[in-house]
C-alpha cells in the first residue's frame, strides 16, 4: 500500500526512570517505544495521513511488540523487516527543577544498524509522496549513514518531497568518528524541508555564528546560508526555547522560505510532563500543514500547538488528533472539555 509519508529510521525501546527519579534509583523502569522517525509517523497517522514506517527490527518479542505498537496508532508497518540482531535501546533520566534530563543510548550492533543498508530504495519509495529522515539515523554508524544518504538521493530522483530533521547527536557520531558535517551535508542537499537552527547549519557548513547578532538574526542568517548552499531546499523550520527550569519553558516557532519568514507568539510550557519527542511533534505539525495546504503562518501555529501538546503527554509519541491541536490553537481555556 502506498503511503503519503514514508519515515525511515530505528524504532527503540525507551526505558525511563519513574517519577523524576535518577536512573535505577529504585529497581523500576517505565517501558515504552520511540525513536525520532517513528514519533513523526505516529503523529502523522493520528492526524489522518497515510504514514509508513521503514525500518529493521529484531525477530524476537521486542521487535514484534514494537510493530504492534506502531500498528496500534495506525502506522503502516509493511516496510518493517525482521532480521538478526538486538533491539536498540535508550535509557532516560527525566529532569526536574534544575536537574537536566539525560539520555543514554544503547544501540550498537542492533538489527537496524546491521541491516538498514540492505533496503531496496526504488522498491520501497516508488508510489510514495514524501520521505522523512533524521540525522540520528546517519549518526548510528557507517552502514546506516550510507542507507540514509541512499534514501534521500533515491527519493529526490523519484520526485518525492524530502524532509530532514538535523537532530545532531554528538555522542553517536563520536562513537565511530563519523564525519557529521560531510554526511549531513550530503543529506541536506537533497531536502526540500529542513528542521534545524543556526547551530546545525553552522556545523554542516563549517561556519561560525559568533558575533552575528541576537537569536532572531542568527536564525535568519542560518536560513540564508542554507538556501545558498542547497538549491533544492525550500523551507527551514525550527523552535526556540527559553528555559526557566527543566519543567518550565517558553516555546516559539520559526519558519523560513526563500521569500518569507514567520514566527509565532511564545507559548508557555509549565509544567512539562515529557519533552522527549517535542521536536518530532513540531516536525509532524509542519508536514501536516504542507500536506493539507495551510499557509505558512497556519503551518507554524499548528506545529507549535502540536509540540505544546506533546510536552503534556508521557512517552515519545504525540497522540494528539487534529481536533486536539486546533482546540489548543483556538482557545487558551483549560476548562474540562465535555
With b for 16 or more beta-carbon neighbours within 10 A and e for fewer, the 149-179 pattern comes to: bebbbbbbeeebbbbbbbbbbeebbeeeebe
Is residue 79 within 8 A of residue 40, CB to CB? The reply is no
- Residue 271's Cβ-side half-sphere holds a number of Cα atoms within 13 Å equal to 6
Is residue 141 within 8 A of residue 105, CB to CB? The reply is no
Task: Return phi, psi of residue 146, to 5°.
Answer: -60, -40
280 is catalytic: yes
Is residue 235 within 8 A of residue 242, CB to CB? The reply is no
Q: Which of 274, 280, 316, 324 is catalytic?
A: 280
55 vs 78: CA distance, rounded Å:
10
What residues act catalytically? Answer: 280
Amino acid at each position: 500500500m502506498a503511503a503519503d509519508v514514508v519515515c525511515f529510521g530505528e524504532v527503540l525501546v525507551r526505558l525511563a526512570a519513574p517519577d523524576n527519579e535518577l536512573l535505577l534509583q529504585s529497581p523500576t523502569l517505565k517501558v515504552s517505544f520511540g525513536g525520532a522517525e517513528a514519533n513523526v509517523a505516529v503523529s502523522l497517522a493520528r492526524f489522518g495521513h497515510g504514514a509508513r514506517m521503514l525500518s529493521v527490527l529484531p525477530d524476537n518479542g521486542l521487535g514484534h511488540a514494537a510493530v504492534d505498537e506502531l500498528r496500534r496508532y495506525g502506522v503502516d508497518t509493511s516496510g518493517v523487516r525482521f532480521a538478526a540482531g538486538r533491539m536498540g535501546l535508550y535509557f532516560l533520566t527525566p529532569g526536574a527543577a534544575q536537574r537536566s534530563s539525560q539520555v543514554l543510548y544503547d544501540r550498537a550492533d542492533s538489527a537496524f544498524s546491521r541491516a538498514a543498508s540492505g533496503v531496496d530504495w526504488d522498491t520501497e519509495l516508488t508510489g510514495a509522496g514524501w520521505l522523512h529522515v533524521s540525522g540520528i539515523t546517519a549518526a548510528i554508524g557507517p552502514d546506516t549513514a550510507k542507507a540514509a544518504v541512499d534514501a534521500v538521493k533515491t527519493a529526490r530522483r523519484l520526485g518525492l518531497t524530502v524532509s530532514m530533521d538535523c537532530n545532531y547527536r554528538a555522542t553517536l557520531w563520536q562513537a565511530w568518528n563519523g564525519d557529521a558535517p560531510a554526511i549531513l551535508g550530503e543529506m541536506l542537499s537533497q531536502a526540500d524541508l529542513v528542521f534545524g537552527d543556526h547551530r546545525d547549519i553552522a556545523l554542516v557548513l563549517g561556519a561560525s555564528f559568533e558575533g552575528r547578532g541576537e537569536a532572531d538574526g542568527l536564525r535568519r542568517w542560518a536560513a540564508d546560508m542554507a538556501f545558498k548552499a542547497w538549491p533544492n531546499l525550500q523551507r527551514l523550520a525550527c523552535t526556540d526555547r527559553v528555559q526557566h527550569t527543566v519543567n518550565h519553558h517558553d516555546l516559539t516557532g520559526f519558519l523560513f522560505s526563500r521569500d518569507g519568514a514567520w514566527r509565532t507568539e511564545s507559548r508557555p510550557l509549565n509544567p512539562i510532563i515529557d519533552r522527549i519527542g517535542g521536536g518530532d511533534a513540531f516536525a509532524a505539525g509542519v508536514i501536516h500543514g504542507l500536506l493539507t495546504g495551510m499557509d505558512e503562518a497556519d503551518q507554524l501555529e499548528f506545529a507549535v500547538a502540536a509540540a505544546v501538546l506533546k510536552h503534556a503527554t508521557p512517552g515519545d509519541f504525540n497522540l494528539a488528533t487534529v481536533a486536539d491541536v486546533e482546540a489548543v490553537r483556538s482557545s487558551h481555556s483549560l476548562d474540562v472539555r465535555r
